[in-house]
Amino acid sequence: CGLCPDFQTEYRVSLSPGVECELVMKDSYGDGWDGASWSGLGQEGLTVAGSKERKSFVVPFAPPPSAPSPPLISPQLSPAPLVPGEAVANTPQDVRDEINMAVDQGRNASVFIPPGASLAFSSNVECSGAMHLSVRSSGEGATLDGKKSSRMFYISSGCSLYLEALHFVDG
């Protein structure tokens, strides 16, 4: 983007070690990149020129702990309180419904998936247009199962995605 040479964006994801991932970057402005770099999960790269980049890699395993830790006894943590305007999602359809409602109302979409929940997606969740989509959990996090799909979220046309305390499996 000629007007924003130092443009940066950050997306947070939580992935299980050993999971194969594919990073797909597209130039949404259509004017190409001149030295775009990316990094994350122990990986990094540089796209010298172009408008699209794909990189596949496997999430590295963490080194084993040096010594076993004694068990900690902690009070039961309650889930983080909902943010005003945030919808609870117990199913993949709840996530889609919140996005559709937000589009109809011209606002951002925000969903909270309860810790320990597991949602299995049979198709990807689409977000497009000038919208911010926030999908989060808290504590131990929630699991999103892609059921062998190559992507769980399809983000396009200016939509931005924020993910917090989520574990992605089988996708």
pLDDT per residue as tens digits for the range 8-23: 555 556 666 666 666 6
User: Do 111 and 155 fall within a single domain?
Assistant: yes
Among candidate residues 40, 58, 76, the one where a domain is terminated: 58
User: What burial letters (b/e) apply to 142-160, b meaning 16+ CB within 10 Å?
Assistant: bbbbbeeeeebbebeeebe
Residues 53 and 98 in one domain: no
The answer on 163 and 109 residing in a single domain is yes
Which tens digits make up the pLDDT trace of 77-133?
A: 445 567 888 999 999 999 999 999 999 999 999 999 999 999 999 888 898 888 999
Quick one: 100 and 161 in the same domain? yes
Residues 39 and 118 in one domain: no
Are residues 26 and 64 in contact, defined by beta-carbon separation less than 8 angstroms? no
96 and 145 assigned to the same domain: yes
User: Can you give the residue range of the structural domain that contains 120?
Assistant: 84-171
Q: What total number of domains does the chain contain?
A: 2
Nearest residue to 54 via CA among 15, 35, 26: 26
What phi and psi values does residue 95 have, to the nearest 5 degrees?
A: -65, -50
